[in-house]
C-alpha cells in the first residue's frame, strides 16, 4: 500500500482529487468506480472546482458505483443514486448515459447483481476504483464476516453501518434500509488501481488494522494489502494509530513523489 498522510481532511480531499484528475487527464474514457459517504463529499467538491476552473473534464468517463440500498428507488432522497446526483454527477457534469448503478428496487435482485458484473466485464473492468472506509473496516458494503462474497451480491447491513448512514434519513434509524447490494471483494480488487480515502479519529482502528493487521474477512479492507496498486490518503487523526516505521515509510514515499 502506498500511504499518503496529509495534515487535514481538506488536504486528503485535495491530494486524492489531484490523483484522480491526473488519471482522467491522461485517460479521458477512464472507467471509474465510485463510493458514497461523508469522506467523498469534499473529494467530489474538489473535483467539481477543478472542472469549473477548466482543469478537468468528466464528460467521457464511465462510472460504476459500489453499492445501493435495497428497497429505495433512485429518486428516493436517501438513495445512494440521489447522493451521487447531488454531490458528484451533476457538479462534475457526468452524463446519465455514462453512469452505472445497482438498482435496489429491481424485481430480481440476484439478476440485477449478475447484470452489473456483466456490464463491468463488457466494458473491460474498472481502471480506477475510489473507496471510502467503514469504521468497522468495510469497503463498499462488504461487511466484516467469517467469509466474504467475491462478486456483486445482496447483503444484510450491520447496525453500526446503518447508524453511520442515518444522516441520509434525517437521523431516523428505522428508516435506514437493512439490506443493500454491493460489489464483491473480487469485483473491487480487480480494478487496475485503487484510491482509498479515510479521515477522522473514528477510522483510526480500522486504518491501523487495514495497513498493519492480518488479511482477514473480519476486516474486509485488509484485503487491499494484496493489491499491487493502492494509494491510501489519510489525515493525521486517521493515521495516528500506525507504527512509527509505517509512518516513516509513508513520509519517505511522499517526499519522493
Q: Are 4 and 231 in contact (CB under 8 A)?
A: yes
**Residue of the chain from 15, 67, 137, 144 that contacts ligand GLP (CB under 6 A):** 67
Minimum CB distance to ligand GLP smaller for 132 or for 177: 132
CB 248: neighbour CB atoms within 10 A? 11
DSSP codes joined into one string, 151-187: SSEEEEPPHHHHHHTGGGGTT-GGGS-SEEEE--HHH
DSSP codes joined into one string, 31-64: EEEE--STTHHHHHHHHHHHHHTTS---TT-EEE
**Residue of the chain from 18, 19, 23, 38 that contacts ligand GLP (CB under 6 A):** 38
* Backbone torsions φ then ψ of 230, nearest 5 degrees: -125, 120
**Residue of the chain from 31, 72, 133, 168 that contacts ligand GLP (CB under 6 A):** 133
Considering the complex, what minimum distance in angstroms separates the CB of residue 57 from ligand GLP?
26
Contact between 143 and ligand GLP by CB under 6 A: the answer reads: no
Considering the complex, what minimum distance in angstroms separates the CB of residue 253 from ligand GLP?
23
Contact between 104 and ligand GLP by CB under 6 A: the answer reads: no
Of the residues 68, 112, 143, 231, only one is catalytic, namely: 143
Would you tell me which residues interact with ligand GLP (CB under 6 A)? 35-39, 66-67, 132-134, 140-141, 161, 164-165
Amino acid at each position: 500500500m502506498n500511504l499518503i498522510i496529509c495534515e487535514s481532511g481538506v488536504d486528503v480531499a485535495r491530494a486524492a482529487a489531484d490523483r484522480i484528475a491526473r488519471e482522467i487527464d491522461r485517460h479521458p474514457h477512464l472507467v471509474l468506480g465510485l463510493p458514497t459517504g461523508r469522506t467523498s463529499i469534499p473529494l467530489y467538491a474538489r473535483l467539481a472546482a477543478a472542472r469549473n476552473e477548466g482543469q478537468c473534464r468528466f464528460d467521457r468517463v464511465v462510472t460504476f458505483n459500489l453499492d445501493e440500498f435495497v428497497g429505495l428507488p433512485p429518486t428516493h432522497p436517501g438513495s445512494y443514486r440521489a447522493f451521487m446526483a447531488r454531490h458528484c454527477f451533476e457538479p462534475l457534469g457526468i452524463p446519465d448515459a455514462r453512469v452505472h448503478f445497482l438498482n435496489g428496487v429491481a424485481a430480481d435482485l440476484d439478476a440485477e447483481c449478475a447484470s452489473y458484473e456483466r456490464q463491468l466485464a463488457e466494458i473491460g473492468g474498472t481502471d480506477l476504483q475510489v473507496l471510502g472506509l467503514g469504521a468497522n473496516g468495510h469497503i463498499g458494503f462488504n461487511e466484516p464476516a467469517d467469509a466474504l462474497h467475491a462478486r456483486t451480491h445482496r447483503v444484510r447491513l450491520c447496525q453500526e453501518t446503518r447508524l453511520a448512514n442515518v444522516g441520509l434519513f434525517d437521523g431516523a434509524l428505522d428508516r435506514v434500509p437493512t439490506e443493500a447490494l454491493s460489489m464483491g471483494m473480487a469485483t473491487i480488487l480487480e480494478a487496475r488501481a485503487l484510491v482509498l480515502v479515510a479521515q477522522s479519529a473514528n477510522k483510526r482502528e480500522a486504518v491501523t488494522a487495514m495497513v498493519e493487521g492480518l488479511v482477514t474477512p473480519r476486516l474486509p479492507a485488509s484485503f487491499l494489502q494484496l493489491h499491487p496498486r493502492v494509494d491510501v490518503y489519510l489525515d493525521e487523526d486517521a493515521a495516528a494509530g500506525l507504527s512509527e516505521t509505517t509512518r516513516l515509510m509513508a513520509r519517505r514515499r511522499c517526499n519522493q513523489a
